[in-house]
Amino acid sequence: MRHFSRFALAALAAAALAAPLKAEEPRIGVEGLVNLPLGDLKDFVDSKPGFTVGAIGTFDLGAGNVLRPRLDYTSYPNANLTNLRNEASNVELGCDYLYFFAQRPEAFYLLGGLSAVRWSFSSDAGLGKVSTDTTKMGLNLGGGYQWNRTVGTELRYTRSKIGSNFTAHAVQAGVTIRF
């Protein structure tokens, strides 16, 4: 995994350096996603779906290659388990690589990305609230369809290992809007 991460970071850096060489202007946008928790996160939030809102930028590198930096905020609703109330949220700063099969940024695409995820967890058993914050690497894989120059839909899998005995994975589905 360490070699993959170094390779992915090197590829993203090389693509970022090539971005200014393109004539097309960078674009900004927003995204909204619904999250279905998986792994230990699913148990922690009692299988309740979460919601993500974020800001995105797109840099068209040509030939169907696009870099998309993003900043997301995700929140899961309070989970009321037996005598226990859990909350989970995160802030994620990442960059996705999108490959458009039609060689233009209005078509079907696959994506892969890396991110830094700042997780916040809290539990309250009635005796006081216990909170934990941690920053971990995240991995995103998925695909989507850019319907026109502005609106797209996306499905992605996110993976973040919090500790040796806790995973915070999710399937996300949502809409992107570029300006």
Query: How is residue 106 annotated by DSSP?
Result: S
pLDDT by position in tens, the chain (length 179)? 555 555 555 555 655 555 455 546 899 999 999 999 999 999 999 999 999 999 999 999 989 999 999 999 999 988 888 788 999 999 999 999 999 999 887 899 999 999 999 999 999 988 888 999 999 999 999 999 999 999 999 999 999 999 889 999 999 999 999 99
Strand 166-167, strand 151-159: pairing? unpaired
Q: For the beta carbon of residue 9, count every other beta carbon within 10 angstroms.
A: 12
Q: What is the pTM of this model?
A: 0.84
Inter-residue contact 59 to 26 (CB < 8 Å): yes
* Angle of CA points 170, 61, 176, to nearest 5°: 35
CATH 2.40.160.20 fits 2-178, yes or no: yes
Query: What's the distance, Cα to Cα, between the start and end of the chain in Å?
Result: 36
CA distance 159 to 166: 11
Residue showing tokens 């994975």: 169
State which amino acid sits at residue 57. Answer: G
Q: Which residues pair with 163 in a beta bridge?
A: 166
Sequence ranges of the domains in the chain: 2-178
